[in-house]
Amino acid sequence: MTIRLTLLCAAAGPSVRGEARFGDGPLDERGVREARAAAATLPTASVVLTAPSVRCGQTAQALGLDATVDDRLRDLDYGDWRGRSLADVVADVGPEPVGEWTADPGAAPHGGESVRELCLRMGAWLDELPQDAGPRVLGVVEPAVVRAAILHALGTPLTAFWRIDVPPLSGVGLTGRAGRWNLRLIAATSP
């Protein structure tokens, strides 16, 4: 059976919109309002999952979804950089570690998870998604998870990770099953 998986990026809050911090943060009123407005455009799903972050949980709630938390959909582990802004990190450790991290998928100068490790985790999750998960699965996730899923589906080099922009409340569709996924663009007005 073919699975239709939609990965929806969580709404933005202050940690994304204004402060550009590594890691999780709650939604603000604007993020909740934007998520509520997007609810009518979501595809129907037989299974709804969410990453364990506060932002993803609050987005799912604002969308009116009864979602199950799946820890495997968690964001990239930013290690020592978690909760800090990019400017703070650069001021503290200099630009070289950040440059290394964005250029080398295997680098983890923050002591957390590398992009390669995230992509391997997401590839395994996709390929282990059981056929009986339902014909339609919706996941509310962080941008890094969307990027990793796209790279896995297309078999794209991991160096392309940072070349994929994933705005808040944007979605990507993947159709297929273990070992064979296709990217499906989602129309903004599709029900």
Per-residue confidence band for 65, with pLDDT thresholds at 50, 70 and 90? very high
Q: What is the mean pLDDT of residues 132-152?
A: 93
The confidence score (pLDDT) of residue 1 equals 77
Tokens 């400017």 belong to residue: 87
Q: Are strands 136-141 and 47-50 parallel, antiparallel or unpaired?
A: parallel
Task: Provide the 3-class DSSP secondary structure of residue 172.
Answer: strand
Instruction: For the chain, count helices (H), then strands (E).
Output: 7, 6
CATH class of the region 3-184: alpha beta
CB of 50 closer than 8 Å to CB of 68: yes
CB of 137 closer than 8 Å to CB of 3: yes
Sheet containing strand 136-141, edge to edge, reads 68-69, 47-50, 136-141, 3-9, 171-177, 180-184
pLDDT in tens, 13-60: 988 887 778 999 999 999 999 999 999 999 899 999 999 999 999 999
The confidence score (pLDDT) of residue 60 equals 98
The confidence score (pLDDT) of residue 191 equals 37
pTM, two decimal places = 0.94
Buried b (16+ CB within 10 A) or exposed e, 15-33: bbeeeebbbbbebbeebbe
Provide the phi-psi class of 165: left if phi over 0, else alpha when psi is between -120 and 50, else beta: beta
pLDDT in tens, 70-80: 999 999 999 99
The confidence score (pLDDT) of residue 189 equals 47
CB of 191 closer than 8 Å to CB of 41: yes
Tell me which amino acid residue 156 is: T
| pLDDT at 133 > cutoff 80 | no
Query: For the chain, which residues make up each domain, given as ranges?
Result: 3-184
Mean pLDDT in the chain?
93
